[in-house]
Structure 1
Amino acid sequence: MFLKTGIFKAISFKNPVKLPVSYWFLVIIRFALTIVPQKGYIHPDEFFQNVEIIAGDILNVDIARTWEFNPKFPIRNIFVPKMILGPPLHFIRIVNPYTMYYLNIDLKTPYYLLVIPRLFICLLSLINDYCLYRICILYGQNFRTRLKLFASSYVVFVYCCRSFSNTFEIIFFSILLLFVAECMQKSDKIIYHEEFLNEKYKQATSPVEKVKLFKLRTHLPEHSLNRVIILSTLVVIGIFNRPTFVGFAFPPIFFWLHRGLGSKVVGFKDFHYRIFTFIMCGIPTALLLIVVDSGYYGYITMADVESLKLSWDYWVVTPLNFMRYNLDTRNLTQHGLHPWWLHLVVNVPLLFNILGVLALISIAGHTYRFIRGQYNKLPRIQSITGLMLFSLVTPVAVLSLFPHQEARFIIPVLIPLIYLYGNHLHPNETDGAKSRRLKNILRICWYCLNVLLTIFFGFIHQGGIYPFSNSLYREIKSNYGVHTHVITTHSYSIPTFLLQLESTTKIWKDKKTGHKYRLAPTTFLHKYGSLPMDELFTKIDDVLTNAEMLLHKHKKQYRFYVASPCSLEQRLRHAASSYYYIDLSEEFSYYPHFCTEAFPKFPSGRDQSCVETSLLRTNESRVVDLNMFQRISCFFRKFCLKIYRVRPVTKYKK
């Protein structure tokens, strides 16, 4: 009866709570920015850890299968990417013939291949908003201000709409927090009523009254194992998606196990019973995911299952391989080693700016009180504040133990961060004039910083790769059969699935003759990272030589491009001058394109590379001095991606 009153009545569908218009406006912006599309390229993993692989499986195109999906030692689970990215890619595959026939729209172009999966992930990101909203409603907190801050974060605009495994992780984490918060509140209410009825039962004197109280006690709903199957399944799937999910799942599950512990009706017997049941409920899901991975990577086949000829060598456990790989420091050295404090000092302020700094100050205060023994001033261990605080601190602390740290690893803590400190940016009735002014200033800083970071990471960072991929796609389609060579240097790799290259691994069959064959590759993407210029031109020389040999022997026409940041133009041309038989001509450029691998130097007052060609010709006899405005303008112009056409000099002169 008590479950139908109070806060449960407030969240019923008969009493919907209206969300602020500004929040819906931010949600519309989230989808609009996804459709534009965002040309920024945060990290290669947003493509090569998920959508690149799934697109190759579903659309039957050539892809770059990274080392993480090597069947000899796979470390990535395939179930989660298939479940999340499978629907939009299957939609493209199934609907594309109809859109081409009736609307003359090809969905297998870079724009739709980029946007449709992102739109689906953007839709899934609303789960995070809903979970935060429900937790606030459950515990009577101001959800309006928190939802607006959450929806205005650039982490939501950029990261949460892309196919990172961390994006899937934040969804699992927010659902886990909501379920545990619901279980905690339900257990608190039931334990309170159970203790109350037990006391009344002991105080009762008449048998009739005792029978009545006993019946009321037996009608209390069960709560000890509430949602155990869902929670265990969610944790197992999260761990298979990213084994680091252990750090995120530990605080919620710890609080779920400790519900009511120390009360008169819940003891350590219930605690151990919960642990045992939780583990047992997670085993079927773990076995299912192991079978899925083992089948996908070719460790088991249906023939093996039918013959029951299975051994330990037939199974692959991707989270175990992931941990084995990352525990070896020599492997992490290839990806970059970072100091333990990077998350705290750099990544938290970078991701969460004002709120991140407020959280660090607040946690430092809690740490000081804990050291001083002022435990009464700390959040109660079984409260929602305690759950959120531990869910914020523990993942960051655990991930700081690993020497390889990237900002995106900790984006799931945005949910507890907003819940704990979201109201710190909005004035309330008890605030004085100075406090209101400070909060308003902090809120304005929050919005401004998130706008700037959305523009930077959404459109500027490595922003030339997608437009170049789009142009390259059109050129490959319009010059079918012509060999295309592309070298990228000091930039991220081109997502191969955007080019929709016909599969060279699939066995094709001639309908007339029945002859089976494989297509020979005609597009070659060479990724050389931050290779020094002299070594890069050795590679360019090799590629050009091989292309010329095929041209003269087998009449194979070719096109050869080098994509390089504009800041390296002088170094690139200087290195090219040593190869008198190679002509390097600029074809086009894409602006803006920011990359830390080739950050431009601020030009000096006599940097002649900044002088326009027409002005340089009229002043050939003297050095042109630049004013500060010209130097600043030149500096910003270097944030672009230039595409050079490579040809032999003799052929070019003809």
Structure 2
Amino acid sequence: MNFEWFKTFAKRWKSIQIGSLIHEDKIVGLVSFWILASLRIILTLLPQSGYIHPDEFFQSVEVVAGDVFDLEVSRPWEFNTTFPVRSAAVLYGVVGVPLALLKAVSPFAALWFGWELRTPYAVLATARLAACLLSFLVDLALYRACRACGRDHRALLVALASSFVVLVYGTRTFSNTIEMALQSVLIGCVADCMALSEQVIERREYLDEQHRKAGSPADRARVHKLRLLLPRHSLRRCAAVATLTVVGVFNRPTFLAFAVAPVFFWLQRGLGSASVGLLDFHLRMLALVLAGLPTLVLLILVDSFYYGYLTLGEISAVKLSLDNLVVTPLNFIKYNANADNLARHGLHPRYLHLLVNVPLLYNALGLVALGAALRLVYRCVCRRWRDLPRAQSVVGLMTASWLVPVALLSLFPHQEPRFLVPVTLPLVFLYTRRLHRHGGLALSCWYACNILLTAFFGFAHQGGVWPLAEHFSREMAAKPRLTAVHLVTSYVYPLPLFPLMLRNSRRPLFSRQTNQHYRLAREFHPYELGSGGLDRVLGRAESLITSCERTYAEKKLDYRVYVALPMSLAERFYGLVDRTNSSLSYATVKVFYPHVSTEALPSFPLAAKCRPEQSESDSCEEYFYSSPIKFFSRYAQQFGLALIKIQKVSRLM
């Protein structure tokens, strides 16, 4: 009996099944990615109440919103006019344009639909939405890099979109977020150029060989025509690479550490082949420098004009000199070259980036990356050069694009996790498959860690500060005129002032009635005391009340003094007030949840306070077993930010 037909049918059926499974896996991957991409936008529009670092406000929205809407803001030292170290040109291109559009649209929205768009939520959501849209350039660059080397992009896109670095950092107005987008686009451009150069060089060498073997002039002419049809690849994307590099350096001069590997790989494409030599390398370098000059000049002029070094009249008259030009990246490098300046921001061990920050940002993927880095070092020590990634490959590009910047940034003693955000794309590209090969446990760890970190940094970490700002925005709008509000904060991050939507008191105004210049009286006074202790907080509150009684009470004006502390310190603060100053009263106005301050974490034994009516012989352990819900409730209540109003007792009578 002949079973050939059965074998043929079985093979076809198996191929159909495998093909359907692959197709189904592709569909699932695409659906997962679009769900996660939608989640990124949703988390941006909520917006997240978490507060990762003061720079996400004070080096972006605080500055631009103050300029665009003419608001009272706390302008950071990086943007002072005497020695500016931050470029305003890039910042305004990302955050300023959306906020200017919001300002232009808000009168029409109020007139036609009755919508008030000049609100704290609208300003923050607009700025963060711009950062979110910018983060999708990372997805696009990853897709293009996968296509350039023939990899399946679906699993990699899902891994990228599920990372809390993209979900949280990617939707915040950090300069590091802009740096991540620029670095990713740069890598995508270089990967595309490398893939094209490899194809063109391979075909060029094949046609050169055919040209040498051609026996007749007609055959040689035909092959020569085919060589002329090959696309030009040597200077492909030269302007894009140069512009991205210059813009990235003006955004953050540390971009030099991230750009050095992609730029080098762009320069050395095809080097060593028969058709590409050192002359091409030097021509590419010259073309790169020339292509970057227009962007360089434009950014210098914009920054010089913004900081007042240059005027429109001087620009139109072409009266330019070194005295009226400011180069912010150069000032940035000068400032950070001084070790004393870095010490003000905190010094860290030089291994922190590699051994702590990479695993913190990328958890399971970061551990896989560290293992791969150790294997590379081992191969170099053993001189197994053939086992290293090829210099002409996209894998080599990606490997250098994360190892080189981590190594260079580790030379500086000030190291924060957000500085490594731009290496997200190469890590996902290189090690997502290895993460899948490690099995379900590694993937479960990846997704679980990213969910927890998204919840922590997106909503809990310093999560009470933004609701506190919104609360004062409403209070300042509803309070009587000429009522001064003083807020003392401690063990929390600084409060941004743009959400209060107060008119700028620093701008001089002119009265046509009196023909005199004047300034608006300042209505809100913040005092950020860091982690100096509760005694210092109470001392500042007492001095403020004494000063206000002398200044405002004599003029029959009202004032309010508040203290904002983590709930883990509120009880101790109340006890300190009761023990040291009987002339002051306090009242908790509101508690904002959730709020986790790493400077004042709740202590579990202290949280498990015994009931006041318990005798000293009763233990907290007995209380825990008799009422575990209340026990844990006391602990959970400490994850909040308390707003406390301080008054003199005489004012209450």
What is the TM-score with the length of structure 2 in the denominator?
A: 0.91
What amino acid does structure 1 have at the position aligned with 2:651? K
Match of 2:155 in 1: 145
The 8 Å contact of residues 204 and 227 in structure 2, kept in 1 or not, is answered as yes
Partner secondary structure for residue 138 of structure 1 = helix
Residues 413-446 of structure 1, C-alpha deviation per residue, up to 9 Å, x if partnerless? 110111111122335xxxxxxxxxx412211211
Structure 1 stretch displaced more, 376-385 or 578-587:
578-587
What amino acid does structure 1 have at the position aligned with 2:431? Y
| Alignment of 1:199 onto 2:209 | yes
Match of 2:108 in 1: 98
d(CA) in 2 for partners of 1:543, 1:315: 43
The 8 Å contact of residues 603 and 634 in structure 1, kept in 2 or not, is answered as no
Residues 430-472 of structure 1, C-alpha deviation per residue, up to 9 Å, x if partnerless? xxxxxxxx41221121111111110000000001011111111
The 8 Å contact of residues 369 and 378 in structure 1, kept in 2 or not, is answered as yes
d(CA) in 2 for partners of 1:198, 1:71: 60
Match of 1:627 in 2: 624
The 8 Å contact of residues 61 and 124 in structure 2, kept in 1 or not, is answered as no
Change (3 A) 1:546 1:275: same
After TM superposition, the structure 1 = structure 2 runs for residues 301-320 of structure 1, keeping only pairs within 5 Å, are 301-306=311-316, 309-320=319-330
Partner secondary structure for residue 503 of structure 2 = coil
d(CA) in 1 for partners of 2:484, 2:617: 45
The 8 Å contact of residues 488 and 537 in structure 2, kept in 1 or not, is answered as no
d(CA) in 2 for partners of 1:497, 1:542: 26
Structure 1 stretch displaced more, 28-37 or 211-220:
211-220
| Alignment of 1:89 onto 2:99 | yes
Given candidates 68, 74, 78, the residue that maps to 1:64 is: 74
Change (3 A) 1:59 1:224: same
Structure 1 residue 624: deviation in Å? 6.3
Structure 1 stretch displaced more, 194-203 or 451-460:
194-203
| Alignment of 1:321 onto 2:331 | yes
What amino acid does structure 2 have at the position aligned with 1:340? R
Structure 1 residue 204: deviation in Å? 2.0
What is the alpha-carbon root mean square deviation over aligned residues? 1.9
d(CA) in 1 for partners of 2:87, 2:285: 25
Residues 245-278 of structure 1, C-alpha deviation per residue, up to 9 Å, x if partnerless? 0111111111000000000111111111111111
Structure 1: runs of 5+ lacking an equivalent: 1-16, 428-437
| Alignment of 1:558 onto 2:559 | yes
Count of residues paired in the alignment = 620
| Alignment of 1:270 onto 2:280 | yes
Change (3 A) 1:87 1:302: closer
Structure 1 stretch displaced more, 34-43 or 569-578:
569-578
Structure 1 stretch displaced more, 94-103 or 281-290:
94-103
After TM superposition, the structure 1 = structure 2 runs for residues 170-209 of structure 1, keeping only pairs within 5 Å, are 170-209=180-219
Partner secondary structure for residue 150 of structure 2 = coil
| Alignment of 1:496 onto 2:506 | no
The 8 Å contact of residues 424 and 439 in structure 1, kept in 2 or not, is answered as no
Residues 63-116 of structure 1, C-alpha deviation per residue, up to 9 Å, x if partnerless? 111010011111000011101112321232122223333433322222222212
d(CA) in 1 for partners of 2:151, 2:567: 51
The 8 Å contact of residues 134 and 178 in structure 2, kept in 1 or not, is answered as no
| Alignment of 1:537 onto 2:534 | no
The 8 Å contact of residues 603 and 631 in structure 1, kept in 2 or not, is answered as no
The 8 Å contact of residues 51 and 81 in structure 1, kept in 2 or not, is answered as no
Match of 2:574 in 1: 573
After TM superposition, the structure 1 = structure 2 runs for residues 360-371 of structure 1, keeping only pairs within 5 Å, are 360-371=370-381
The 8 Å contact of residues 564 and 642 in structure 1, kept in 2 or not, is answered as yes
Structure 1 residue 515: deviation in Å? 5.0
What amino acid does structure 1 have at the position aligned with 2:462? Q
Structure 1 residue 593: deviation in Å? 0.8
d(CA) in 2 for partners of 1:310, 1:216: 51
d(CA) in 2 for partners of 1:288, 1:366: 42
Match of 2:651 in 1: 651
The 8 Å contact of residues 565 and 643 in structure 2, kept in 1 or not, is answered as yes
Match of 1:610 in 2: 609
Match of 1:435 in 2: none
What amino acid does structure 2 have at the position aligned with 1:527? E
Residues 296-320 of structure 1, C-alpha deviation per residue, up to 9 Å, x if partnerless? 1111222334555543222111111
| Alignment of 1:47 onto 2:57 | yes
Structure 1 residue 131: deviation in Å? 1.2
Match of 1:472 in 2: 472
Partner secondary structure for residue 426 of structure 1 = helix
Match of 1:430 in 2: none
Given candidates 143, 155, 160, the residue that maps to 2:165 is: 155
What amino acid does structure 1 have at the position aligned with 2:525? F
Partner secondary structure for residue 524 of structure 1 = strand
Structure 1 residue 620: deviation in Å? 7.5
Residues 604-623 of structure 1, C-alpha deviation per residue, up to 9 Å, x if partnerless? 5xx7x834xxx52x448876
Structure 1 stretch displaced more, 642-651 or 119-128:
119-128
The 8 Å contact of residues 541 and 561 in structure 2, kept in 1 or not, is answered as no
What amino acid does structure 1 have at the position aligned with 2:645? R
The 8 Å contact of residues 145 and 426 in structure 1, kept in 2 or not, is answered as no
The 8 Å contact of residues 462 and 594 in structure 1, kept in 2 or not, is answered as yes
The 8 Å contact of residues 78 and 84 in structure 2, kept in 1 or not, is answered as yes
After TM superposition, the structure 1 = structure 2 runs for residues 391-410 of structure 1, keeping only pairs within 5 Å, are 391-410=401-420
d(CA) in 1 for partners of 2:253, 2:283: 25
Match of 1:434 in 2: none
The 8 Å contact of residues 135 and 178 in structure 1, kept in 2 or not, is answered as yes
Structure 1 residue 534: deviation in Å? 2.7
What amino acid does structure 2 have at the position aligned with 1:567? S
The 8 Å contact of residues 368 and 435 in structure 2, kept in 1 or not, is answered as no
| Alignment of 1:20 onto 2:30 | yes
Match of 1:450 in 2: 450
d(CA) in 1 for partners of 2:46, 2:242: 39
After TM superposition, the structure 1 = structure 2 runs for residues 493-532 of structure 1, keeping only pairs within 5 Å, are 493-510=494-511, 516-532=517-533
d(CA) in 2 for partners of 1:259, 1:172: 21
d(CA) in 1 for partners of 2:365, 2:101: 39
Given candidates 588, 591, 595, the residue that maps to 1:593 is: 595
The 8 Å contact of residues 566 and 639 in structure 1, kept in 2 or not, is answered as yes
d(CA) in 1 for partners of 2:302, 2:480: 38
What amino acid does structure 2 have at the position aligned with 1:572? F
d(CA) in 2 for partners of 1:194, 1:364: 38
Structure 1 residue 394: deviation in Å? 0.8
Partner secondary structure for residue 445 of structure 2 = helix
The 8 Å contact of residues 586 and 644 in structure 1, kept in 2 or not, is answered as yes
Partner secondary structure for residue 544 of structure 2 = helix
| Alignment of 1:637 onto 2:641 | no
Change (3 A) 1:480 1:236: farther
Match of 1:433 in 2: none
The 8 Å contact of residues 425 and 440 in structure 1, kept in 2 or not, is answered as no
d(CA) in 2 for partners of 1:361, 1:535: 47
| Alignment of 1:230 onto 2:259 | no
What amino acid does structure 1 have at the position aligned with 2:503? E
| Alignment of 1:375 onto 2:372 | no
